[in-house]
């Protein structure tokens, strides 16, 4: 947000109130608890901030850099079967993280025109780890059954043998714990400079991944996108200042904003802190809107994140991580895509077998929508149902080569479901020459076929 002067850490002394029933991130409160337990952590965070500001002054935040790939391990800690989310659900989240941070997310077109100049590809992407800390092959997913029914931000989630699972080395991995969070929390994260044993991100199982078992309106994977932003040194866009307009997220190209934004204001412009005419950037991943309303990081936020990987940066060790290196077969993108069996409510997607595939991830959506429906297939086709008649759709397929290795998604294939009109209100009944309906040349005809012997009559 714009300030005459950046005020590092003004926000971290404010403990905000908790909002239930809407997006609720526990990172700020978690940070305060860490400061209380380890006063030196605040000093380390201030040192990281000084480094970040110096980096920003000496680097072009709009320039192109080598892409940073972060190996991820997902620790699923579950008490009930529904909490033990599927591999496919986890893979969908990794895909969303990469899309959101690389600005290849399907809803980039929803970014308002007055903010597109600030929107950035952060040049950070994510992969599920293929090598564990001992050098053995891994899927990048651990699963731990627990007797604990839910966790708070002060629970024993990161302690294997107590209730949860120990963190893998933070110099090689981003740890993400997925569990049932209490108190209405969707997630929380640890900023750089904290304890190695708790370094990472925590997400509630019901809001992890895109589609599938994720619960609306937080079912597009943006909870993890938001929390990983914290893990990469980003603050809430409104500065956690209790509507005073005096706080800062320490980013110059995000507008000053009074407070968090809930739900999804849609195309409205919300003015606060004299930030007109463009108003609040509530489409930013670091606000509190619903998943379908978030769609960008800015160039300034990119600079803060990239500073962590500069020489002397607090997460630079990840650049030499073996976590995603070398293990797992190569994946080819599926080709030969076609659509068959198109009806009013369904279709069959077909493609050619890809080299090394153990399965496929398929996603489809209305061409007018930014929300994908995700599914999987063990073969080279997928039947989908529940579509809307007379509507335009697109679909893509991604090759799963096992071991957490995934190809890119294919190009989209478009199709239109049949129907969509009420034939009985236009041409029926017209089963005889005497009842033939008069039409003009060039008319698109949709007639209700009642049986295999039905004949419809028209005249021009």
Give catalytic residue positions. 227
Rounded to whole angstroms, the Cα distance separating 32 from 42 reads 9
Q: CA 206, CA 214: separation in Å to the nearest integer? A: 5
User: By three-state DSSP, how is residue 372 classified?
Assistant: coil
Q: Which of 98, 91, 109 is nearest to 210 (CA)?
A: 91
Q: Which tokens belong to 250?
A: 């320490």
Contacts of 283 (CB under 8 A, 6+ apart): 110, 111, 112, 115, 289, 293, 294, 295, 296
User: b/e for 388-422, b at 16 or more Cβ within 10 A?
Assistant: eeebebbbbbbbbbbbbbbbebbeebebebeeeee
Phi, psi dihedrals of residue 145, rounded to the nearest 5°: -80, 135
What is the β-pairing status of strands 68-78 and 174-179?
A: parallel
Closest CA to 130 of 163, 158, 164, 94: 94
Q: Answer whether 417's CB lies under 8 Å from 389's CB.
A: yes
- Spatial separation of the C-alpha atoms in residues 337 and 334, rounded to whole Å: 8
- Residue spans of beta strands (DSSP E) within 225-280: none
Helices marked H in 265-348 — which ranges? 299-307
User: Which ranges of 39-86 would DSSP assign to H, the alpha helix?
Assistant: 40-58
Q: Are strands 187-189 and 201-204 parallel, antiparallel or unpaired?
A: antiparallel
131 within 8 A of 138, measured Cβ to Cβ? yes
Q: What is the dihedral of CA 85, 91, 95, 100, to 10 degrees?
A: 30
Q: Which strands sit side by side in the sheet containing 347-350, from one edge to the other?
A: 338-340, 347-350, 381-384
Please tell me whether residue 117 adopts helix, strand or coil conformation.
coil
CA dist., res. 120 & res. 301, Å (int): 9
């Amino acid at each position: 947000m714009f300030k005459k002067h950046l005020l590092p850490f003004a926000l971290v002394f404010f403990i905000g109130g908790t909002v239930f029933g809407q997006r609720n991130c526990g990172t700020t409160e978690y940070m305060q608890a860490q400061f209380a337990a380890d006063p030196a952590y605040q000093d380390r965070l201030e040192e990281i901030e000084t480094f970040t500001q110096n980096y920003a002054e000496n680097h072009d935040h709009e320039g192109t850099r080598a892409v940073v790939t972060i190996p991820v391990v997902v620790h699923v800690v579950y008490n009930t079967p529904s909490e033990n989310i599927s591999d496919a659900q986890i893979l969908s989240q990794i895909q969303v993280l990469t899309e959101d941070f690389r600005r290849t997310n399907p809803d980039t077109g929803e970014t308002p025109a007055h903010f597109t100049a600030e929107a950035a590809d952060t040049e950070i992407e994510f992969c599920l780890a293929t090598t564990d800390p001992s050098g053995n092959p891994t899927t990048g997913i651990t699963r731990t059954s627990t007797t604990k029914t839910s966790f708070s931000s002060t629970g024993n989630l990161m302690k294997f043998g107590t209730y949860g699972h120990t963190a893998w080395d933070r110099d090689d991995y981003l740890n993400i714990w997925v569990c049932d969070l209490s108190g209405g929390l969707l997630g929380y994260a640890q900023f750089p400079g904290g304890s190695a044993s708790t370094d990472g991100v925590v997400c509630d199982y019901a809001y992890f991944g895109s589609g599938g078992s994720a619960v609306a309106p937080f079912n597009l994977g943006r909870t993890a996108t938001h929390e990983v932003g914290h893990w990469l040194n980003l603050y809430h866009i409104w500065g956690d200042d209790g509507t005073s307009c005096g706080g800062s997220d320490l980013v110059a190209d995000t507008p000053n904003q009074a407070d968090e934004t809930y739900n999804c204001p849609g195309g409205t412009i919300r003015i606060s802190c004299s930030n007109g005419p463009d108003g609040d950037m509530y489409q930013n991943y670091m606000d509190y809107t619903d998943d379908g309303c978030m769609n960008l990081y800015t160039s300034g936020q990119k600079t803060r994140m990239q500073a962590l990987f500069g020489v002397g940066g607090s997460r630079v060790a990840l650049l030499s991580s073996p976590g995603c290196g070398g293990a797992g077969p190569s994946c080819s993108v599926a080709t030969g895509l076609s659509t068959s069996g198109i009806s009013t409510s369904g279709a069959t997607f077909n493609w050619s077998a890809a080299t090394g595939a153990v399965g496929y991830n398929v996603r489809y959506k209305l061409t007018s929508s930014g929300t994908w429906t995700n599914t999987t297939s063990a073969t080279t086709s997928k039947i989908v149902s529940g579509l809307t008649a007379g509507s335009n759709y697109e679909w893509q397929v991604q090759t799963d080569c096992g071991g957490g290795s995934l190809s890119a998604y294919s190009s989209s294939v478009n199709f239109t479901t049949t129907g969509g009109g009420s034939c009985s209100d236009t041409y029926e009944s017209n089963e005889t020459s005497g009842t033939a309906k008069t039409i003009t040349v060039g008319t698109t005809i949709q007639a209700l076929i009642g049986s295999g012997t039905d004949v419809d009559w028209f005249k021009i």
